[in-house]
Amino acid sequence: DSGVTQTPKHLITATGQRVTLRCSPRSGDLSVYWYQQSLDQGLQFLIQYYNGEERAKGNILERFSAQQFPDLHSELNLSSLELGDSALYFCASSVASLAGGSNEQFFGPGTRLTVL
């Protein structure tokens, strides 16, 4: 158990809909990262928040948005869903915000999103 929790574990929805994925980081971790893992693209970094502020942005679509709340939990909002958005979405947390070998990320169990 990494200490990172994600809900829900599974989500099935239809094209065009909007969903919200939730992540609670490990106690004491200020950084939250969101990743998408699909069969054809592998693991892709989406976005990072540090202590409530956006720190880095990756290959995140404009239809997707995220935020980190004062209690440090984070939500990833996916709207106007398409079939191609079906994937595993992982949240990770770390103590620090900087890139580098000493900044270990701890991953949650993921949310499996299926868009029909």
Partner 1 sequence: TQLLEQSPQFLSIQEGENLTVYCNSSSVFSSLQWYRQEPGEGPVLLVTVVTGGEVKKLKRLTFQFGDARKDSSLHITAAQPGDTGLYLCAVWDSNYQLIWGAGTKLIIKP
Contact footprint for partner 1 (CB under 8 A): 2, 4, 33, 42-45, 48, 55-56, 58, 90, 92, 97-105, 107-110
The CB-of-41 to partner 1 minimum distance in angstroms stands at 9
Closest C-alpha among 25, 10, 31 to residue 86: 10
The CB-of-15 to partner 1 minimum distance in angstroms stands at 25
Are the C-beta atoms of 58 and 105 separated by less than 8 Å?
no
Are the C-beta atoms of 78 and 63 separated by less than 8 Å?
yes
Q: In which element (H, E) is residue 81 found? A: none
Nearer to partner 1, 22 or 45 (CB): 45
Nearer to partner 1, 13 or 97 (CB): 97
